[in-house]
């Protein structure tokens, strides 16, 4: 073990760098970063296992930061192992910098997750730990890794910590070690002013092993980490009692520690003397962006130790590969995000069924075809039909991760973050299911999945007012408009931030799932019906061939010669248009019917294709069970869209169809009105 004095000096070095970054940027959060320096220094210099020359090595330990505002601590720590230069630290929070205000996932630099919204980061760690357990069951010691998480008082207070703590304890995730930076200071108050709960007792009740230490005592931290790694059958929470602004000295020469004011602004604005503080920590105020020579040597030695460990590990891995060639190929394929060959056309769908049921049929196929797929549901698997995946697998449970299904209980936000954590870990394909209306609980995580460009799959059923008797609390109206905004938003790679698919019938659902599975660039939303839907009319080439055109985001389902009007919709409304069209054709009208499962994908098609599907010169009529704005950019005239501008109502869905104007007869009448305008 390293000398205590040297370890304290290294932690002080991190404090100087973190405080100086915030000072130079004129914004940021220095206090917590200074308080947490001792733990991260011990972790990175003596415990965290990684390959310095192969950052994406699947078997590495992973460190998930929850309080993203403590990025100065993370960047300063990663600078110690050569991931950031002093120039990078000086460019903190600046345009084009690799050190943004809150960390953004960058595995090459050691940043395992984007963090900022408190509570999510440590929940990603729980998801990663679940993925690691799932993979360890299949690959054995190749996944003998530890997942570390770092959480602050704010993260503990966020409601999601309940879901993360409960499921981690319930599953006995002994590969998870979380450090709780308990400094009793928040941005606006002391913790004691807003909370009096017993954190240790709470986590102990969830089945965690608890260790309490002085968060600045190197020996205590070492002992705690060693103890945590030896625990079997439980995750470990290390409660480290730390001091906000550790080492800060005020302008009057007194202590500047334990102040609310040092949490969220440069120290100089909080009455702290930067010059005196840096000097007392062993630095040079005129040149604070320096790694002390002895600290540099400390980490140089650590990196060489890790290289030796990596060489020995690679030798063992090569021996394992030689003994298990098939598993070796599978291991590489899974972590390379390679997909197995799937005969999508062979999936037999029952006619005229709900798209949630069609999804269940596809999931049954995927459960035997995609061996590294994990599906979760928030206590709705027999209703959102994710239980189709259970046809060829079973649920995970403590001590048994041979199954590929996770029964989450009622915790939609936690579930979404767990799938994000699984995706961040790598080696698995993650999907989650619930009712569409409950996507409201998941919005913060959906946005983060989109920002991180993670290919998680969100399965949302009961997609419209046709939920029926359950009434407006369970009937999504505005939700599709909200989710489709992510189709209009670009991620940092220039792609639509999310692929949103609302298939129109059972066969289109198969194609939608194919698109979702093959989408490795962004999250995918599958929005599915509760009620049965009539199959759309098929051309001479067959319905499956027709539905493959859903890949273009929108396509012509059927068209009369020289149509007078284009009728367009997504989901179950397309079949309503098809029924209305029969009535209109009987009166001599000529029509073109278009299914638009993904407006965002359609917008990316060539102009010539878009013109063939939705000719600009032709009248249009849009039908949506959501807000009319869902189709406004395609129709161009809100008066030509029939949708729902109010919350829903409680009644059988066929009654609602009639009361709200969605029967084929009512829709046909509105189309005729549009034709006469």
Query: Which pLDDT tens digit goes with each residue over 602-660?
Result: 999 999 999 999 999 999 999 999 999 999 999 998 889 999 999 999 999 999 999 99
As a whole number of angstroms, the distance between CA 669 and CA 365 comes to 42
Q: 343: Cβ–Cβ under 8 A, 6 or more apart, which residues?
A: none
The separation between the first and the last C-alpha atoms of the chain, rounded to the nearest angstrom, is 83
Can you give the pLDDT at residue 440? 98
CB-facing half-sphere around the CA of 393: CA atoms within 13 A: 31
As a whole number of angstroms, the distance between CA 399 and CA 74 comes to 33
Report, as residue numbers or ranges, the catalytic residues: 412
Can you give the pLDDT at residue 1? 78
| Lateral strand order in the sheet of 373-377 | 405-407, 373-377, 429-435, 457-461, 524-527, 499-501
Per-domain residue ranges for the chain?
Answer: 2-304, 342-525, 550-674
pLDDT tops 90 at residue 455? yes
Q: 653: Cβ–Cβ under 8 A, 6 or more apart, which residues?
A: 465, 466, 467, 468, 530, 531
**23-28 mean pLDDT:** 98
pLDDT tops 90 at residue 332? yes
Written out in words, the top-level CATH class of the domain with range 550-674 is: alpha beta
HEC-encoded secondary structure of 123-177: HHHHHHHHHHHHHHHHHHHHHCCCEEEEEEHHHHHCCHHHHHHHHHHHHCCCCEE
Q: Specify the 3-state DSSP secondary structure of 323.
A: helix
Provide the 10 A C-beta neighbour count for residue 407.
17
Can you give the pLDDT at residue 258? 95
pLDDT digits (tens, 9 = 90+) for 380-436: 999 999 999 999 999 999 999 999 999 999 999 999 999 999 999 999 999 999 999
As a whole number of angstroms, the distance between CA 184 and CA 162 comes to 20
Can you give the pLDDT at residue 677? 85
Can you give the pLDDT at residue 638? 85
User: Which segments within 570-632 are labelled E, that is strand?
Assistant: 591-595, 619-623
**318-334 mean pLDDT:** 97
pLDDT digits (tens, 9 = 90+) for 555-573: 999 999 999 999 999 999 9
Q: 58: Cβ–Cβ under 8 A, 6 or more apart, which residues?
A: 142, 143, 331, 335, 426, 427
0.85 exceeded by pTM: yes
- The string of DSSP codes covering 657-671 is HHHTT-SHHHHHHHH
Can you give the pLDDT at residue 577? 98
As a whole number of angstroms, the distance between CA 642 and CA 673 comes to 12
Domain 342-525 shares a fold with domain 550-674: yes
Q: Which fold has domain 342-525?
A: Rossmann fold (3.40.50)
Match domain 2-304 to its CATH number in 3.30.9.10, 3.40.50.970, 3.40.50.720, 3.40.50.300: 3.40.50.970
Can you give the pLDDT at residue 224? 98
As a whole number of angstroms, the distance between CA 547 and CA 550 comes to 6
Q: State which H helix or E strand residue 458 sits in.
A: strand 457-461
pLDDT digits (tens, 9 = 90+) for 186-244: 999 999 999 999 999 999 999 999 999 999 999 999 999 999 999 999 999 999 999 99
Can you give the pLDDT at residue 55? 98
Q: Specify the 3-state DSSP secondary structure of 104.
A: coil
Can you give the pLDDT at residue 504? 98
pLDDT tops 90 at residue 444? yes
Can you give the pLDDT at residue 374? 98
| Mean of the per-residue pLDDT values of the chain | 97
| Dihedrals phi, psi of 106, to nearest 5 degrees | -160, 85
Q: Specify the 3-state DSSP secondary structure of 593.
A: strand
As a whole number of angstroms, the distance between CA 198 and CA 298 comes to 38
pLDDT digits (tens, 9 = 90+) for 117-157: 999 999 999 999 999 999 999 999 999 999 999 999 999 99
As a whole number of angstroms, the distance between CA 116 and CA 483 comes to 21
pLDDT digits (tens, 9 = 90+) for 57-103: 999 999 999 999 999 999 999 999 999 999 999 999 999 999 999 99
Q: Cβ(52)–Cβ(307) under 8 Å?
A: yes
pLDDT digits (tens, 9 = 90+) for 458-510: 999 999 999 999 999 999 999 999 999 999 999 999 999 999 999 999 999 99
């Amino acid at each position: 073990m390293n000398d205590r004095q040297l370890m304290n000096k290294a932690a002080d070095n991190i404090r100087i760098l973190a405080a100086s970054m915030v000072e130079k940027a004129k914004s940021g959060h220095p206090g917590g970063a200074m308080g947490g320096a001792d733990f991260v220094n011990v972790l990175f210099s003596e415990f965290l296992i990684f390959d310095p020359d192969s950052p994406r090595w699947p078997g590495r330990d992973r460190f998930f930061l929850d309080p993203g505002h403590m990025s100065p601590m993370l960047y300063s720590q990663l600078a110690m192992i050569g991931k950031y230069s002093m120039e990078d630290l000086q460019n903190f929070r600046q345009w084009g910098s690799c050190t943004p205000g809150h960390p953004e996932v960058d595995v090459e630099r050691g940043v395992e997750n984007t963090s900022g919204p408190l509570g999510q980061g440590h929940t990603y760690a729980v998801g990663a730990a679940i993925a690691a357990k799932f993979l360890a069951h299949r690959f054995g010691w190749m996944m003998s890794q530890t997942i570390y998480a770092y959480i602050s008082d704010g993260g503990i207070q966020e409601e999601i910590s309940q879901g993360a703590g409960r499921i981690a304890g319930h599953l006995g995730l002994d590969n998870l070690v979380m450090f709780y930076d308990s400094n009793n200071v928040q941005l606006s108050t002391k913790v004691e002013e807003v909370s009096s709960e017993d954190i240790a007792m709470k986590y102990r009740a969830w089945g965690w092993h608890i260790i309490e230490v002085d968060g600045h005592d190197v020996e205590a931290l070492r002992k705690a980490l060693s103890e945590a790694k030896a625990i079997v059958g439980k995750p470990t929470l290390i409660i480290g009692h730390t001091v906000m602004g550790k080492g800060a000295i005020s302008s009057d020469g007194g202590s500047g520690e334990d102040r609310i004011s040092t949490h969220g602004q440069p120290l100089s604005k909080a009455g702290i003397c930067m010059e005196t503080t840096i000097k007392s920590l062993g630095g040079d105020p005129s040149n604070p962006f320096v790694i002390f020579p002895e600290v540099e040597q400390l980490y140089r030695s650590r990196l060489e130790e890790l290289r030796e460990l990596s060489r020995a590990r690679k030798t063992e891995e090569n021996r394992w590969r030689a003994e298990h060639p098939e598993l070796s190929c599978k291991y590489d394929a899974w972590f390379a995000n390679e997909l197995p060959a799937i005969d999508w056309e062979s999936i037999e769908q029952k006619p005229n069924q709900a798209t949630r049921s069609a999804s269940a049929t596809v999931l049954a196929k995927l459960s035997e075809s995609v061996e590294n797929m994990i599906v979760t549901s928030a206590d709705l698997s027999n209703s959102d039909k994710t239980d189709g995946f259970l046809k060829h697998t079973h649920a995970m449970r403590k001590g048994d991760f041979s199954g590929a299904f996770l029964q989450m209980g009622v915790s939609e936000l936690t579930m979404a973050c767990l799938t994000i954590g699984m995706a961040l870990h790598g080696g698995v394909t993650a999907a989650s299911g619930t009712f569409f209306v409950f996507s409201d609980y998941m919005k913060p995580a959906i946005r983060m999945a989109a920002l991180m460009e993670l290919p998680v799959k969100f399965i949302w059923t009961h997609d419209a007012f046709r939920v029926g008797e359950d009434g407006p609390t369970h009937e999504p109206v505005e939700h599709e408009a909200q989710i489709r905004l992510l189709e209009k938003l670009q991620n940092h790679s220039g792609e639509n931030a999310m692929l949103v698919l609302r298939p129109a019938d059972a066969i289109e659902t198969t194609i939608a799932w194919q698109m979702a599975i093959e989408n490795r660039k962004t999250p995918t939303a599958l929005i599915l019906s509760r009620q049965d839907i009539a199959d759309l009319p098929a051309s001479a080439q067959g319905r499956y061939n027709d539905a493959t055109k859903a890949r273009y985001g929108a396509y012509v389902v059927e068209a009369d010669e020289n149509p007078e009007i284009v009728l367009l919709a997504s989901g179950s409304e397309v079949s309503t248009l098809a029924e209305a069209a029969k009535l209109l054709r009987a009166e001599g009208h000529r029509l073109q019917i278009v299914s638009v499962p993904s407006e965002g994908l359609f917008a990316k098609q060539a102009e010539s294709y878009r013109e063939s599907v939705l000719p600009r010169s032709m009248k249009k009529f849009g039908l949506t069970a959501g807000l009319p704005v869902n189709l406004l950019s395609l129709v161009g005239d809100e008066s030509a869209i029939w949708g729902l501008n109010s919350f829903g109502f409680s009644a059988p869905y066929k009654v609602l169809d009639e009361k709200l104007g969605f029967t084929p007869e009512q829709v046909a009448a509105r189309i005729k009105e549009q034709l006469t305008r």
